[in-house]
Amino acid sequence: MVVPDIVPPVYLLLTKPLPGMTPEDILQATAKILHVPMEVFFYSKGGGGELTTARYIAVVLVRTDLGYSVHKTTEFFGRKSHSLVISATVWIYERLPSDKELRRKIHAIRAQYPEKARAVLRAEDKGG
């Protein structure tokens, strides 16, 4: 399978994975901020609208904030194919530059991260 070479928006670029973070931290923060059950990340397909958005955000944050590969992200989410990860990546990357609400959601989720991870995000935001 060929994975498209997609360049992330600047907002998601990190020079290194966030310290002390786990995928579970990201899922908990996403579920809390977007008011969705944790099950939506693993057992749901489709679901439309907000459920799909929550799932896609979580997938992309696991990839970008933890530095996970497509394969490792696919395994974490219990999928057999890379389609969820690729679809989520394309969907988020295409919308993020022009979608203020999507950026707001991601910022609110990241604000739930432990202080050590937030400190790295602040430093990255200032250019290093």
Residue 55: C-alpha distances to residues 84, 93, 122, 123, 128 (Å): 9, 14, 25, 27, 29
Q: What is the pTM of this model?
A: 0.85
Which pLDDT tens digit goes with each residue over 7-66?
555 556 676 789 889 999 999 999 999 999 998 888 766 666 888 899 999 999 999 999
List the domains of the chain with CATH numbers: 20-125 (1.10.1750.10)
